[in-house]
Structure 1
Amino acid sequence: MESPPVMDSAQPRWRRVRERLVRRILPRSLLGRMLLIGFIPLLATQAISLELFYGHYLQVVSRRLSGDMATTISMTLDMLERYPAPADRQWILEDAGRRAGLVMTLHAGESLHRSGSNHVLGPIDEDLAHDLQAAVRWPTFVDWKQAHHRVVIAVQTPIGVLQVVALRKRLVVAPVWLFVAWASGSALLLFLIAALFMRNQVRAIRRLARAAELFGLGRDTVPIVPEGAQEIRKAAVAFNRMRDRINRFVEQRTTVLAGVSHDLRTPLTRLRLSLAMLPRAGRVEAADLQPDIADMIGDIGEMEHMIEGYLSFARGEGAEMPAVIRVEDMFEEIVATLRRMGAQAAVRSITPAGLSITGRPNALRRVLSNVAENARRHADRIVFSAESGRRQVVLYVDDDGCGVEEARREHVFRPFESGAAGGTGLGLAIARDIIHAHGGHIGLESSPMGGARVRIVLPV
């Protein structure tokens, strides 16, 4: 068999590296990505316009202005060479300077010590230096630093140095920073306007997500008001309809289960009354039947207990409204109940003091009661503790029993798995159902006391 090519194994690795790099660079929020989608084309448009305007149009204009200046100086030098008389030269310099808007001065007998340009403005002064070299056959020097608003051009001639002073605005079309500031300012203004509109759209999505999260945690809220774009409004309307259908389904199920509970308890109550009135024949027969009747009454009581557990498991605690609960008060209530039943229970620590959670009070008490009842059947001591984490509260129930094997820790939360010690096998299943309805998690761990630890995580 031929081995697969190296690129087949390297390509997925490169794809994973690329995706990881993109995830690190790109913003995670929808608002950030929408702003990035709007900002990158805007930035590219401004960069292209800057390049087209300053990279092409202004360069053409700059070359034309530089060429005109070089031509004027070249013509003046030709006139000076043709008319060497001092009076004629003075008249030529004055007339050419007046017509061209320049100040021309001839320094006879002097020499030029430097040539080229001191290069301040980049392509503009480079164009001027290049055009001067092409139009004038003698060395030249362009000084951009001698005066703030003027440019001094010196040309070495056989009779001396010709100095030409021109206004800078005759060679510079417009300040580069002015166009850059205008482009950047307009881009920033448009970006801020786009960010404002995008933020309003994302705010509607965030409200929809928050309402869905609260509904999933059982903290039912009022229907959200559709706002934002048309698609977001449709999603909000669909969410409100789904919420109403789910609430209506839960209400109908609760009503049906309440009727089932009544219908099942009625014949059991009649059986109990019939058994209570059964031993009427004789003392001997009554004495013989008494143990059997007591067993049947016990079976009826166990059936009622099992039916109540089944209904509680199926019904849940969906009709109860969430409220703020102090963890210490809830622990103390469960501990008092356990002590009345003869168990050794205590509250170890709550960090920080006064820790509170939001949830359905009766449902959470039922969870702790079921967990504590399960621990009471297998251990002697039960200890409650709680701590606050990052956007969550963790509740612990520890015991000193035999513990639960790691392979069975997930199975004990299934229905009818934990009823070997006298229970119905639904207590932990009901507890997990309630915790999941609160958006939390429940699991088993090894306890520092040597037994089992039930760890309950609830979102804040």
Structure 2
Amino acid sequence: MTMVDIANKEVPEEKQNLYWHFNRFLERHLPEGLYPRSLIIIIAPIVVLQAIMAFVFMERHWDKISTRLSKSVAREIGFLVELYETMPPTQASRQMLEKMAKDRLALGLEIRPGDSLPPPAVKPLFSLLDFKLSKQIRKRVGRPFWLDVLGKSGFVDIRVQVGKDTVFRVVTDQSRAYASNSHIFILWMVGSSLVLLALAIVFLRKQIWPIQQLAEAAQSFGMGHDVPDFHPRGASEVQSAARAVIGMKDRIQRHVDQRTAMLAGVSHDLRTILTRFRLQLAFLDETDQVKELKHDVQEMQSMLEGYMNFVRGDGGEKAEMTDVAVMLQQIKTRMEREGLSTRFTLADGLVAKVKANALRRCVNNLVNNAGRHAQMVHVDAKFVGNELAINV
């Protein structure tokens, strides 16, 4: 028997374009099962879509809103600084400015005469607020400043040097300078996608399951096993395919039954004729011609027994779990009684679902034929993958 590997068939170089290489890449790296491939078809677009949406949102919306909020806070601080410089340096003026910042601008302003900026605070590694707000204060205020976004939870502490001995301390909510609730959008987006994905997987599983059952049933039918619990399920196309497989199996079974009945009838008729031949030869003298006729009749009887064994093997015998090692040990014992030299190599755990009588007759025929033409008969039995291999 010759096997052709289509997957590894060589393709002319002129046909090996980009599309061909892409298909080869998918064949090598995609899973073989239908269900995993279907999951990839569903999950991959959702993941890519979520990644693009998150990138666009982070790049455009979140970054732009945070920039505008930081710019607004920096402008208000710049306005307060310029207003302070135009006012007389009195306590009443400072109190009025602090009250205006609180009531009109919602900024907690504290004017500290005779104070200076504290040492630089530790900069956070990844803080969009610190980066944006520092950039806008530097651009809109244009004064030495100190910024702390980590010290007080939920607030931003900003200090600006005004003149030589005056410091503005501004405390405001982070939400005024930073789009802090944007993560809610991402959580809703990811959460809803997970829910929809779970529903899609459940639905997909119900659609794939009948196809998997059909594949298992077709494989069992091909190996001669019956699947009594198999019924067409799923989509209309899958049910049509299942009914076609069942119909094909029934037609093959009817064909086998008709062939078996025909061979049984022919063999029975021939056995009757051979029995009459043997009775007639028994009444004749033992001459050379009679001996040759008896030999021919015996050979025809052996051939007929072979046909009958074949009929019995393909008949109603069902495959059952059988200890093949015990069967082969019995065959070995019989051969040794007949004086044949044998060597059996049996692997451990030789239990398989087979038609025991048919397999026994098959191995007996092979071993007997080998014994007629060889001084030593070697039988090797082992599992190769999911298949039982017996070499004689």
TM-score, length-scaled by structure 1? 0.71
Matched, 1:26 2:26: no
CA distance in 1, matches of 2:377, 2:140: 103
Q: Which residue of 2 aligns with 1:343?
A: 339
Q: Per-residue deviation at 1:336?
A: 4.2
- SS of 2:241 mapped into structure 1: helix
Q: How does 1:294-333 map to 2 (within 5 A)?
A: 294-309=291-306, 317-333=314-330
Confirm or deny: 8 A CA contact 1:332 1:347 kept in the other structure.
no
Matched, 1:210 2:216: yes
Matched, 1:362 2:362: no
CA distance in 2, matches of 1:328, 1:125: 77
Amino acid at match of 1:195: I
- Alpha-carbon distance change, 351 to 270 in structure 1, aligned in 2, over 3 angstroms: closer
- Alpha-carbon distance change, 47 to 385 in structure 1, aligned in 2, over 3 angstroms: closer
CA distance in 2, matches of 1:216, 1:386: 23
Matched, 1:261 2:267: yes
- Alpha-carbon distance change, 186 to 120 in structure 1, aligned in 2, over 3 angstroms: farther
- Alpha-carbon distance change, 28 to 252 in structure 1, aligned in 2, over 3 angstroms: same
CA distance in 1, matches of 2:352, 2:173: 77
Matched, 1:103 2:108: yes
Confirm or deny: 8 A CA contact 2:156 2:174 kept in the other structure.
yes
- What is the root-mean-square deviation of aligned Cα atoms in Å? 3.4
Q: Deviations over 1:55-82 (max 9, x none)?
A: 2223333233223222322222222122
Larger mean Cα displacement after TM superposition, 365-374 or 188-197: 188-197
- SS of 2:373 mapped into structure 1: coil
Q: Which residue of 2 aligns with 1:196?
A: 202
Confirm or deny: 8 A CA contact 2:70 2:178 kept in the other structure.
no
Q: Deviations over 1:389-425 (max 9, x none)?
A: 6544444xxxxxxxxxxxxxxxxxxxxxxxxxxxxxx
CA distance in 1, matches of 2:29, 2:377: 50
Q: Which residue of 1 aligns with 2:159?
A: 154
- SS of 1:377 mapped into structure 2: helix
- SS of 1:79 mapped into structure 2: helix
Confirm or deny: 8 A CA contact 2:267 2:307 kept in the other structure.
no
Amino acid at match of 1:243: K
Q: Which residue of 1 aligns with 2:6?
A: none
- Alpha-carbon distance change, 393 to 302 in structure 1, aligned in 2, over 3 angstroms: closer
CA distance in 1, matches of 2:375, 2:66: 96
TM-score, length-scaled by structure 2? 0.82
- Alpha-carbon distance change, 386 to 363 in structure 1, aligned in 2, over 3 angstroms: same
CA distance in 2, matches of 1:42, 1:177: 19
Confirm or deny: 8 A CA contact 2:342 2:377 kept in the other structure.
yes
Q: Which residue of 1 aligns with 2:146?
A: 141
Q: Per-residue deviation at 1:362?
A: 1.0
Amino acid at match of 1:296: L
Same amino acid, percent of matched pairs:
33
CA distance in 1, matches of 2:211, 2:381: 35
CA distance in 2, matches of 1:243, 1:122: 69
Amino acid at match of 2:103: R
Pairs aligned (count): 379
- SS of 2:40 mapped into structure 1: helix
Larger mean Cα displacement after TM superposition, 122-131 or 86-95: 122-131
